[in-house]
Structure 1
Amino acid sequence: MNQRRCVAILGAGMAGAAAASRIAEAGLDVRVFDKGRGVGGRMATRRADGLQFDHGAQFMRAHGDVFAARLADWERRGIVGPWARAGRRVGIPDMTAPVRDLLSDLSVASGTAIARIIRDGACWRLTDGAGGEHGPFAAVAITFPAPQIAALLAASGFALAGVERATYAPCWSLMVAVERAPADVLIEPNDSPIGLIASDSSKPGRPDGGHLTVHAKPDWSRAHLEAPREAIVSALSKAAEACLGSPLLVGYAQAHRWRFAQVETALGKPCLYDPDLRLGAAGDWCLGPRIEAAHDSGLALANAILSDLGRPA
């Protein structure tokens, strides 16, 4: 790998995967770094005790032609399938499948949290949280949630104007295994602290059983952001029982806190890129709270980098 013609992608969610795939397709080398144990970002799946829950993003929809074509290709190849309501697609066998497809055959360093980015002449080097060094790289693309990008840039002595304007709502997510799943596979209550109840086991390619994911509404999640997980499990379980009109008879229950779950204020532009530094950022925070927005933002950043490096965009 010629690292002086290699691009570092920080973040292995949809934006990072779309950027990495596009840059590799154009003939450049890419290396992807992510602090998580696996890829997908908020397109996340939790497995435990033989159970499976999509505890992050629940589905994808296409509003534009580019992502519609991508979904159609994935559906032809069995990587996504329809679920619940018209136009909604989910990954098969889990929500990480589309991201894994984009990153197939690419270099991905999971469990690697980048702590600093360092300018070294005309190139970049990276330092991770364990003290490891990576590089040199011709360009760096950062695809974390905007507050995490701002923190990394500040720690490294750099800035990208505008990233600080994007804001997020948090979300508490409850994963429960119950004896009987509700008849409705997707419930979106109005008068409740709950924003969504999804039957994971109703999605194509999933294990059988009563596996439910419950997402709390943003205001409730914000008010209870620092509450103990046990208290969140209890409160959301009771709220779910009230929505469903029957006891859950829970066999398994765990809560996950997403500090940066859904974009509230988007930047309103496809990506940020500084051609003098060859440093850019992308994510759903650029265009809006959708998986499609993350995908399109990642593509926009990839094309900006390719154009700057003299490759066809």
Structure 2
Amino acid sequence: MNEHGIVAVLGAGIAGAAAARRLSESGLHVRVFDKGRGVGGRMATRRVGGMQFDHGAQFMRARGPAFAAELDRWAQRGIAVPWAGSDRYVGLPGMTEPVRALLAGLPVSRATTIVRLRRQRSCWHVEDASGTVHGPFDGVAITFPAPQVATLLAASGVALPGIGRAAYAPCWSLMVATDASPPDVLIEPRTDPVGLIAHDSSKPGRPAGCRLTVHATPDWSRRHLETPREAVVAELLGAAEDVLGTGLRPSYAEAHRWRYARVETALQKPCLYDPDLRLGAAGDWCLGAHIEAAYDSGEALARGLVADLGRPA
């Protein structure tokens, strides 16, 4: 096997970043592709003027030794800090920062949507939405949400059995800047329509001011998946005011729809991987609905690829 193999990593969220870093540190070359203008996936930070909102994942927790060690390394570097309890960590200056750290120095093609995989002899090529074909690659690691993995595989005429069992809930996320008195750092009523209210600016290293992120419940988000954004903003804003017992008088209010937000049915296996094809997929949908699951899954997929490309993991 090629000692200097190159792997295409599709997706630059935490699973893709963990896989890419493990592959690189094991002596393989990687190239990362992501459809977004930035990296991080649902570990997202939106900046608007001097404001910022963690409008995706709110914090990280470590349950197992691998992610606990990584979280400790991030803490030592000052890119992860405790928030709202000693076991909750956030990225610094935003939730995206740990993903940026994992991808530092690696080639990342942003705003590049991969729509098809092509197998030629023992190598892979990947085709983007513009028709550009990239490659050859010795292996492919896909770290999209499971429904997007399934779509890509179907368009490519290949399969990874089991992918269809994973299921997600959507989430509408409301970002609000207000001059109202800040609430508690984190409130989780979990009663339609409000699942969570996070006081973003209470997180360490954030700009001053009162900024809130409101996550709608899964059921409400499903029912309103195609509701116009303006109507979602109005309804979630009113519901948040009811929960908080105060008017918010927002100077800024915007909503973001996460179509694949939270894993509801995971495969309960580290990743999907075909060693004959050197093709695999990873994500939180493999192990569970948290950042650590995505990280562990990306690492597991990388170990399989490293083993088959002739390097010890």
TM-score (norm 2): 0.98
Asked if 1 retains the 8 angstrom alpha-carbon contact of 2:4 and 2:27, the reply is: no
User: What is the Cα-based RMSD across aligned positions, in Å?
Assistant: 1.2
Secondary structure of the residue aligned to 2:258 is strand
Report how many residues are paired: 312
Secondary structure of the residue aligned to 1:17 is helix
Q: Deviations over 1:114-148 (max 9, x none)?
A: 01010011000011001111000000000000000
Distance 1:137 1:256 in 2: 35
Distance 2:121 2:72 in 1: 43
Query: Aligned in 2, Cα 1:298/1:181: closer, same or farther, shift over 3 Å?
Result: farther
User: Displacement, 1:186?
Assistant: 0.5
Distance 1:68 1:53 in 2: 25
Distance 2:220 2:181 in 1: 24
Query: Aligned in 2, Cα 1:3/1:236: closer, same or farther, shift over 3 Å?
Result: farther
Secondary structure of the residue aligned to 2:108 is strand
Does residue 127 of the first structure (1) align with residue 123 of the second (2)? no
Q: Deviations over 1:46-76 (max 9, x none)?
A: 1113210000000000000110111011001
Equivalent AA in structure 2 for residue 22 of structure 1 = R
Distance 1:112 1:74 in 2: 28
1:269 maps to which residue?
A: 269
Q: Deviations over 1:189-241 (max 9, x none)?
A: 14441010001111111111111100000000001110000000000000000
2:152 maps to which residue?
A: 152
Distance 1:4 1:158 in 2: 25
Asked if 2 retains the 8 angstrom alpha-carbon contact of 1:193 and 1:220, the reply is: yes
1:303 maps to which residue?
A: 303
Following TM superposition, where does structure 1 have runs of at least 4 consecutive aligned residues deviating by more than 6 angstroms?
Answer: none
Asked if 1 retains the 8 angstrom alpha-carbon contact of 2:233 and 2:253, the reply is: yes
Q: Deviations over 1:19-38 (max 9, x none)?
A: 00000001110000000000
1:202 maps to which residue?
A: 202
- List aligned pairs for 1:51-66, cutoff 5 A: 51-66=51-66
User: Displacement, 1:299?
Assistant: 0.3
1:233 maps to which residue?
A: 233
User: Displacement, 1:182?
Assistant: 2.3
Equivalent AA in structure 2 for residue 135 of structure 1 = G
Asked if 1 retains the 8 angstrom alpha-carbon contact of 2:3 and 2:311, the reply is: no
User: Displacement, 1:4?
Assistant: 7.2
Asked if 2 retains the 8 angstrom alpha-carbon contact of 1:80 and 1:98, the reply is: yes
User: Displacement, 1:172?
Assistant: 0.2
Asked if 2 retains the 8 angstrom alpha-carbon contact of 1:271 and 1:286, the reply is: yes
1:71 maps to which residue?
A: 71
2:214 maps to which residue?
A: 214
Secondary structure of the residue aligned to 2:307 is helix
Asked if 2 retains the 8 angstrom alpha-carbon contact of 1:181 and 1:212, the reply is: no
- List aligned pairs for 1:13-52, cutoff 5 A: 13-52=13-52
Equivalent AA in structure 2 for residue 277 of structure 1 = L
Identity %: 67
Asked if 2 retains the 8 angstrom alpha-carbon contact of 1:187 and 1:198, the reply is: yes
Unaligned runs of 5+ in 1: none
User: Displacement, 1:181?
Assistant: 4.3
1:6 maps to which residue?
A: 6
Distance 1:281 1:197 in 2: 32
Unaligned runs of 5+ in 2: none
Distance 1:76 1:254 in 2: 34
User: Displacement, 1:279?
Assistant: 0.3
Distance 1:127 1:46 in 2: 29
Query: Aligned in 2, Cα 1:138/1:191: closer, same or farther, shift over 3 Å?
Result: closer
1:177 maps to which residue?
A: 177
Asked if 1 retains the 8 angstrom alpha-carbon contact of 2:183 and 2:199, the reply is: no
Distance 1:307 1:11 in 2: 21
1:101 maps to which residue?
A: 101
Asked if 2 retains the 8 angstrom alpha-carbon contact of 1:114 and 1:127, the reply is: yes
Q: Deviations over 1:246-282 (max 9, x none)?
A: 0001000000000000000000100011011110000
